[in-house]
């Protein structure tokens, strides 16, 4: 097996995206597009991994290094084409004679098993280059594969340089190549920019190699999706759809029920237990772990959170928090970061919870805000209750001990503690601690003025008569 160096091309601006965000940083299933080619090079066990950067280099370099600290970033100062991009790499490979695997940062759907094919092929043949091609109903925008009568790859012609006859060809270049290192750099030196776009095309090395008598092999991929390139926002949305569906299928194979994979958005690095049902329009981000036999969605958004078993999360958002077993959240609840919610808890309609600990069996059923609070076991929070946790300077804690019953529409002015098994009366503004087993009542006493309406009506009638 020859040694392999990978080179990821990522210096282009991505003009056709019409965006200020560099193309390769646009997210695909929640990860920057460039993540996928970096990740695949690492998982292939390639030791020397090079990335060519140019447009917005500093910004992209940070992302590259956060994914692959060992990647060598090479600067292509002027983006004069894919051939010139590879030439920038030559000084790093002067004593290298193995295979150069060229990947494009804008082709994220490529699978590791598919790459194995091209590497094995290049390894076992005498070809100067092996590349992936596919046949498309609409090959518009891609370089076309020119084969001779015996079916050998002869050249690649870019879209803007196609003759009318070549425009009929539907076999396209996937932009993924294995090169013999020495032959690659010899050919690159001969590439000219005498084409429509005045760029140095990497694809020109194919004809140069063939003219020299070198063999170029084209492997036709049956599934064109894998080498779909992203140049426009429309293509980005199509690739996103495919990636999300692919992620959903992986979970379905492991026993998760996903009602509509086309409308379910699971990022990579998400774990879901068997028997869990994911309803449509649910987004689950990287790092989330969901137990078994849960019902998640429709319309739930779970960001980096841990959810136990048999828990329901209906039309709600859970951010960087932990939810226990047999707990029910929503509809329309928002669990904000650093919350820990235990087992058999109910968080109901329009409830916001922030940095709060809620113990087993507690119910917070309607229209409530809990911030910086600690709730014990079997607490009941009445509708419309809020913790007044912020005094304009600092956040203060609220403690509600086991078995407490908070009446409806309470304002709990923190810092405050409601002792074990106590009650607070509906409509109270609680500013002082309530001792255990007591009733806290803090509201004006009601007064009824009997006959007030009759008096009012009489007065009005008299005024009218006077007019």
> Where along the sequence are the contacts to ligand UD1 (CB under 6 A)?
9-12, 52, 76, 79-82, 84-85, 104-107, 142-143, 156, 158, 172-175, 201-203, 229, 231
**3-state DSSP helix/strand/coil percent for the chain, to nearest 5?**
25, 30, 45
In the set 55, 121, 295, 366, the catalytic residue is: 366
Looking up tokens 């160096």, which residue turns up?
A: 5
Shortest distance, CB of residue 215 to ligand UD1, whole angstroms? 19
Identify whether 298 is preceded by a cis peptide bond (ω within 30 of 0).
Answer: yes
Dist. CA 436–CA 433, nearest whole Å: 10
Q: Give 143 or 382: the residue with its C-beta nearer to ligand UD1.
A: 143
Shortest distance, CB of residue 106 to ligand UD1, whole angstroms? 4
Shortest distance, CB of residue 27 to ligand UD1, whole angstroms? 16
CB-side exposure of 94: number of CA atoms within 13 Å? 3
Shortest distance, CB of residue 390 to ligand UD1, whole angstroms? 47
Shortest distance, CB of residue 49 to ligand UD1, whole angstroms? 15
Cβ-proximal residues to 413 (8 Å cutoff; 6+ apart), any chain: 388, 429, 430, 431
Shortest distance, CB of residue 202 to ligand UD1, whole angstroms? 4
Q: Does 12 bind Ca ion (CB under 5 A)?
A: no
Of 106-114, 165-173, 211-219, 332-340, which part binds Ca ion (CB under 5 A)?
Answer: 106-114
Q: Give 232 or 322: the residue with its C-beta nearer to Ca ion.
A: 232
Contacting Ca ion within 225-284 (CB under 5 A) = 229, 231
Q: Give 196 or 460: the residue with its C-beta nearer to ligand UD1.
A: 196
Q: Give 158 or 352: the residue with its C-beta nearer to ligand UD1.
A: 158
70 bridge partner residues: none
Q: Looking at 29, 31, 87, 106, which residue binds Ca ion (CB under 5 A)?
A: 106
Dist. CA 278–CA 256, nearest whole Å: 8
Looking up tokens 């009318």, which residue turns up?
A: 164
Q: Give 21 or 249: the residue with its C-beta nearer to Ca ion.
A: 21
| 328: nearest Cα among 311, 316, 349, 343 | 311
**334 is annotated as an active-site residue:** no
* Torsion (CA) 376, 379, 381, 386 in degrees, nearest 10: -10
For 403-423, give one letter per residue: b (16+ CB within 10 A) or e: bbbbbbbbebbbebbbbbebb
Dist. CA 236–CA 239, nearest whole Å: 5
Query: Phi, psi at residue 265, to the nearest 5°?
Result: -120, 90
Q: Which does 76 bind (CB under 5 to 8 A by kind): ligand UD1, Ca ion, none?
A: ligand UD1
Cβ-proximal residues to 69 (8 Å cutoff; 6+ apart), any chain: none
322 bridge partner residues: 306, 340
Q: Which does 396 bind (CB under 5 to 8 A by kind): Ca ion, ligand UD1, none?
A: none
Token representation of residue 153: 């790859």
Q: Give 229 or 273: the residue with its C-beta nearer to Ca ion.
A: 229
Dist. CA 289–CA 43, nearest whole Å: 23
Q: Give 118 or 386: the residue with its C-beta nearer to ligand UD1.
A: 118
Q: Which residue is nearest to ligand UD1 (CB)?
A: 143
Dist. CA 168–CA 187, nearest whole Å: 28
Shortest distance, CB of residue 12 to Ca ion, whole angstroms? 8
- C-alpha distances in angstroms, 318 versus 189, 271, 295? 55, 16, 14
Q: Interface residues with Ca ion (CB under 5 A)? A: 106, 229, 231
Q: Provide the annotated active-site residues.
A: 366
């Amino acid at each position: 097996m020859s040694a392999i160096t990978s080179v990821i091309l990522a210096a282009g601006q991505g003009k056709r995206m019409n965006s200020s965000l560099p193309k390769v940083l646009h997210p695909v299933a929640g990860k920057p597009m460039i993540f996928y080619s970096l990740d695949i090079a690492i998982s292939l066990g390639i030791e020397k991994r090079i990335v060519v950067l140019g447009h917005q280099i500093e910004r992209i370099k940070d992302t590259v290094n956060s994914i692959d600290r060992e990647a060598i970033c090479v600067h292509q100062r002027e983006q004069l084409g894919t051939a010139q991009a590879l030439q920038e790499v030559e000084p790093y490979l002067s004593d290298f004679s193995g295979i150069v695997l060229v990947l494009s940062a804008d082709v994220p759907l490529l699978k590791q098993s598919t790459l194995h094919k091209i590497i094995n092929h290049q390894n076992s043949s005498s070809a100067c280059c092996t590349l992936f091609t596919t046949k498309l109903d609409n090959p518009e925008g891609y370089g076309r594969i020119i084969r001779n009568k015996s079916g050998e790859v002869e050249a690649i012609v870019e879209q803007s340089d196609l003759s009318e006859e070549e425009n009929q060809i539907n076999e396209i270049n996937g932009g993924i190549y294995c090169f013999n290192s020495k032959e690659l750099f010899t050919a690159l030196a001969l590439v000219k920019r005498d084409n429509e776009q005045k760029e140095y095309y990497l694809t020109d090395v194919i004809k140069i190699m063939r003219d020299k008598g070198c063999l170029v092999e084209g492997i036709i991929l049956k599934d064109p999706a894998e080498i779909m390139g992203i140049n426009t926002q429309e293509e980005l949305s199509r690739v996103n759809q495919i990636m999300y569906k692919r992620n959903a299928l992986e979970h379905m194979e492991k026993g998760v029920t996903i009602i509509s994979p086309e409308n379910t958005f699971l990022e990579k690095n998400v774990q879901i237990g068997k028997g869990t049902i994911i309803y449509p329009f649910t987004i689950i981000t990287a790092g989330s772990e969901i137990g078994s036999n849960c019902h998640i969605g429709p319309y739930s958004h779970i960001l980096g959170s841990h959810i136990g078993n048999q828990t329901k999360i209906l039309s709600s958002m859970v951010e960087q928090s932990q939810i226990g077993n047999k707990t029910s959240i929503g509809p329309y609840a928002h669990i904000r970061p650093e919350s820990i919610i235990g087992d058999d808890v109910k968080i109901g309609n329009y409830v916001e919870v922030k940095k709060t600990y809620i113990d087993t069996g507690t119910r917070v059923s309607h229209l409530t805000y809990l911030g910086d609070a600690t709730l014990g076991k079997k607490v009941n929070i009445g509708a419309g209750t809020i913790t007044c946790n912020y005094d304009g300077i600092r956040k203060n804690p609220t403690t509600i001990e086991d078995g407490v019953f908070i009446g409806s529409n309470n304002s709990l002015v923190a810092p405050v503690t409601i002792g074990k098994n106590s009650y607070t009366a509906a409509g109270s503004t609680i500013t002082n601690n309530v001792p255990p087993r007591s009733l806290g009542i803090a509201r004006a006493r009601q007064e009824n003025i009997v006959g007030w309406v009759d008096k009012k009506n009489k007065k009005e009638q008299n005024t009218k008569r006077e007019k």
